[in-house]
Chains A and B, each alone.
Chain A
């Protein structure tokens, strides 16, 4: 889901006369953390249904990943948009933390994804998700927003995801349009008319 926002941002950035030079000059603190976190998460996804210990501990592991991610975002909070990303991730973190490390998913919303998915969800854990039930805390922070046509992909997301995307969007816009204040960006704006 995060990639959708970045893709859209790249497109709009180009339309606004930005370029990719700024992206080449990203300077983040602890940037190496990001791919490692992603790698660990994928490992857990693949292994949690095969190795029992990882399956049992997966919720704690997810939360730990989130904590590290939040620290990383906080370290870079001076970058435009990063506080927004932080807020989004934090919202997701909260709802997962209070629900035992699982992201609650709305059954109604999940129906847009197809019947199989609903079945799996009702049966138990899928990735880091679980179905919303009566005892779920803060259900409105869970995955309740269904995306369906005309949006090109079918997905269920949470408000945290949306906020996160807004942050990513702002960051990419900043990189592409304000990244460097050379006259070439003005030039393109003129030619666009």
Chain B
């Protein structure tokens, strides 16, 4: 029988060993014929009750956790009548189980049976060892009960762990602390219930057992109802009503989770944003009810097309849809979506004659996850930009996000710059140091960016970021900003918060979205000891790393109330010393070169 099941050899040996151990123990321990008929009635009842309890598990939301009360019956039997009875009950239950779960392989049944055997015997002997007395509960000494429970479950956990270990199903996170903690609670419940049942059995025997079983069964019903309710509500909360796709909130959450996962194990994934073309016009011509139908139709189409892949499709906004594509490169995503676009073009829907293209169409932007992206918002933003670019290209096309294409025009850049200057001007009255510092960092960034291998868009972002990076200091009290001498810890905390505040101030304006990472992360250090998040190395966006160097350099070389000024030479030496720890070594080197060629000669001239 064993050979039929395809098992790894370790697993086979282990299962065989445990099974033989369990069966030989029951053969040694069990005196089959000496049981009185009255005991047999009890055994039947207990076995029936366990079978019922195994059938009516208690389900616990949110995950598919459930626990069975069978252990409390076994323990109660053990405490009250000893192993003989408990093992017979186990034997009967196992036989019922064998017939009930015919699909489970025989060796699994044997293993389960033997495991329970060992658990029961282990619990029994540890109970005796700590002076437990079989029979009515001795309330003056509860230790033996606790200890036998601990032994009972330790054997269970150990044997199961070994089983998974030998069958090679162990992977990281299977036995995390949360699960253990949760199960500790349910173990404790089991002990309490076994004590309750022991008292009931001792007092009223059959009627006590009957009460216990009925109570647990009813509880199981109630919990099952709750679980169903929870699941249906959870499902409804994650779905969009009209299209049946996932909704905005769920999608964002999933994306965030995906983002966290992808940072741990490197794999590519893409985000695509789709926007139906001229949907407003369609609505105007055909009415909103038709419009709703179109959305539903399009949603169904998306779902049907992505069915075979593990894509996650959501209705992102009014007529905007989002697809999360795990394990997909942007090229593959492009192929898929362009094919989909053509298919949609060829699909007729009532009323499309009135829209300019005379067919269903959408514009789509794709962005791929790259190392150094710092949150899911950045990915969404990029996909969004690519989508707008697709719209600008005349609609009905798919675009991959590309810095070259998507770039502020010079005019827009100037406008942004002016807006930021306005913002910055507040510092003129409050903290003129910061105002001047920002201006200088801006100048350095302007000049330095020309020497770097960056796209136009990146250059513009760096320059804007340099100008505005300390905007969060508006919220820091003046006396902290201008304090001479060392800062108190709480004051230091406030100073550190300026990066977050700065991000919050700018986040209100959508146009500044690209600058946010620079403002928030320009105090992160290359070795991971910076703030606010302690990001490390390449996790910090490139531009934030560059800005960090410029910012620090200027901070070192200008007079501040709280520190002595360094000369350029000293500051350069400091940069060099900290390259690789505080600063990105590559860009630090570049910046040093820039300073040495552009500024040092100038200074020397003035000094002369």
| Chain A residues with a Cβ under 8 A of chain B | 83, 87, 106, 108-109, 132, 139-140, 144-146, 150, 159, 162
Contact = CB atoms under 8 A, between A and B. Distances in A.
Contacts of B48: 162
B44 interface: yes
A145 B48 CA distance: 13
A51 B523 CA distance: 107
A123 B99 CA distance: 40
Contacts, number: 23
Given A87-B99, A150-B207, A108 B44 contact: no
7 contacts: A83-B99, A109-B37, A132-B37, A139-B37, A144-B40, A145-B41, A145-B44
Contacts of B207: 150
A106 B44 contact: no
A108 B38 contact: yes
B37 A108 contact: yes
A140 to B, nearest CB: 4
B35 interface: yes
Given A106-B37, A162-B48, 13 more contacts: A108-B38, A109-B41, A139-B37, A140-B37, A140-B40, A144-B37, A144-B38, A144-B40, A144-B41, A145-B41, A145-B44, A159-B44, A162-B44
A162 B48 CA distance: 10
A100 B308 CA distance: 65
A15 B40 CA distance: 33
Give the secondary structure class of B's interface: helix
Contacts of B37: 106, 108-109, 132, 139-140, 144
Interface in B13-46: 35, 37-38, 40-41, 44
A140 B37 CA distance: 6
A145 B41 CA distance: 6
A140 B88 CA distance: 12
A61 B35 CA distance: 32
A117 B48 CA distance: 28
B99 A140 contact: no
A83 B99 CA distance: 10
Nearest to B99: A87
Nearest to B45: A145
Interface string B99-112: 10000000000000
A106 B44 CA distance: 15
Contacts of B38: 108, 144
Nearest to A145: B41
Nearest to B35: A140
Nearest to B41: A145
A145 B44 CA distance: 9
5 closest A-B pairs by CB: A140-B40, A144-B37, A106-B37, A145-B41, A159-B44
A150 B204 CA distance: 12
Contacts of A109: 37, 41
Nearest to B32: A140
A144 B43 CA distance: 12
Contacts of A159: 44
B44 to A, nearest CB: 5
A93 B37 CA distance: 19
Contacts of A145: 41, 44
A108 B35 CA distance: 15
A63 B99 CA distance: 25
B81 to A, nearest CB: 16
Interface string B176-218: 0000000000000000000000000000000100000000000
A83 B48 CA distance: 17
Nearest to A158: B44
B59 to A, nearest CB: 18
A150 B40 CA distance: 21
Nearest to A166: B48
B98 to A, nearest CB: 12
A130 to B, nearest CB: 15
A99 B41 CA distance: 20
A1 B390 CA distance: 78
A109 B38 CA distance: 8
Contacts of A150: 207
A153 to B, nearest CB: 15
